[in-house]
Amino acid sequence: MPTVLIVDDDARIRALMARLLETSGYLAVEAANGKEALALMRKRRPCVILLDLQMPIMDGWEFRRQQLADPDLAEVPVICVTGFYDSSDMFRSAGVKIFTKPVQLSALLQAIREVCKTEPRAVPSAGGGRH
């Protein structure tokens, strides 16, 4: 099952994104800041990172700098999901997709599918379907 790392200091945002991802067939892993995210990435490699930029402890910019400096983590793609960004920042210039909050969830899921290059597992319908 493709893993998506959600990095956001807002627990409500993480829970909403995790629920969306899990009902769409992804495994969601959550981190409240960049420092937690780097530690999690060393344990389980995600197919993509959904990254907020403004967070305490380690913000998205510092996370990205450290991620790119680590050859084992540098190749993991990032999609910024944030309330603020500077259009001249290193994310836009590096071709990173940026979604501003509130996010259009269908567009975000499409971007995740494109970046992960794998289809998530099928999620059974609530109606009980065939076995």
pTM: 0.84
* Relative orientation angle of helices 11-23 and 105-116, to the nearest 10 degrees: 70
Structural domain boundaries in the chain: 3-116
Tell me, which fold does domain 3-116 have in CATH?
Answer: Rossmann fold (3.40.50)
Furthest CA-CA distance within the chain: 51
In this prediction, what percent of the chain has a pLDDT beyond 90? 58
Q: What are the pLDDT digits (tens) for 23-50?
A: 999 999 999 999 999 999 999 999 999 9
Lowest-confidence region among 28-32, 33-37, 82-86, 96-100: 82-86
CA-to-CA distance for 82 and 102, rounded, in angstroms?
A: 8
Q: How many angstroms separate the CA atoms of 31 and 108, rounded?
A: 19
